[in-house]
């Protein structure tokens, strides 16, 4: 592994750990921040896409692009003005995301078995998959705190696994 690659792994790990600990320190606040951030992102990207659909040069896809832009605008407005409902929906989607990410990390860990630290990536995948399953077990009553808390836990596990992989560098096992 190149020094530059190790640097990126370590930098990503540190950022994941910082944001993860912030999320754990105030999971409810972080849950609402996630909903607001996604709402703003959907709204802004929808407006930009609508402007591109109206003023863009590609006439063939103009109508379809405008429809998708309007859907993003509506989704953004719903997330910004109906935060409790948005939080429940996002928590459900987040649970699915955690399960997919967990399965991917498990398979990814087995692909790099010769790399030092692969067991931590495997553990990260197992924890992430378990968190995804726990989201569904506590949904919808726990949606207010689950999103922030589990996102923080997932980031900490992911950050720790990246940190070990980055520090281990090019050391390989057997």
Question: Would you state the pLDDT for residue 43?
Answer: 94
Q: Which residues contact 93 (CB under 8 A, 6 or more apart)?
A: none
Tell me the domain boundaries of the chain: 9-168
Q: Any idea what the Cα angle at residue 76 is, between residues 72 and 82, rounded to 5°?
A: 140
Question: Would you state the pLDDT for residue 170?
Answer: 55
Question: Would you state the pLDDT for residue 173?
Answer: 44
Per-residue confidence in pLDDT tens, the chain, 174 aa:
666 778 888 899 999 999 999 999 999 999 999 899 999 999 999 999 999 888 877 776 788 888 999 999 999 999 899 888 888 888 888 889 989 999 999 999 999 888 877 888 899 899 889 988 988 888 888 888 888 888 898 899 889 988 888 887 655 444
Task: Determine the Cα–Cα distance for residues 87 and 10; give it in Å rounded to an integer.
Answer: 31
pTM (predicted TM-score): 0.67
Task: Determine the Cα–Cα distance for residues 61 and 71; give it in Å rounded to an integer.
Answer: 16
Q: Any idea what the Cα angle at residue 108 is, between residues 103 and 112, rounded to 5°?
A: 150
User: For the residues of 56-110, what is the DSSP string, one character each?
Assistant: -S--TTHHHHHHHHHHHHHHHHHHHH-HHHHHHHHHHHHHHHHHHHHHHHHHHHH
Buried-exposed string 88-109: b where 16+ CB fall within 10 A, e elsewhere = bbbbbebbebbbebbeebbeeb
Question: Would you state the pLDDT for residue 174?
Answer: 40
Nearest one of 130, 156, 135 to 89, comparing CA atoms: 135
């Amino acid at each position: 592994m190149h020094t530059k690659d190790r640097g990126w792994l370590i930098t990503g790990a540190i950022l994941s750990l910082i944001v993860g600990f912030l999320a754990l320190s105030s999971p409810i606040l972080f849950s609402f921040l996630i909903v607001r951030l996604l709402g703003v992102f959907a709204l802004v990207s929808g407006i930009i896409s609508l402007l591109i659909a109206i003023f863009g040069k590609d006439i063939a896809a103009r109508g379809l692009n405008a429809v998708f832009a309007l859907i993003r605008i509506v989704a953004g407005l719903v997330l910004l003005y109906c935060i409790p409902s948005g939080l429940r929906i996002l928590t459900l989607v987040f649970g699915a995301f955690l399960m997919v990410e967990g399965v991917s990390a498990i398979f990814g860990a087995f692909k790099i078995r010769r790399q030092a630290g692969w067991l931590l990536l495997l553990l990260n995948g197992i924890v992430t998959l378990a968190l995804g399953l726990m989201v569904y077990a506590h949904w919808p009553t726990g949606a207010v705190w689950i999103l922030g808390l589990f996102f923080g836990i997932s980031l900490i596990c992911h950050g720790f696994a990246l940190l070990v992989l980055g520090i281990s560098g090019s050391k390989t096992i057997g």
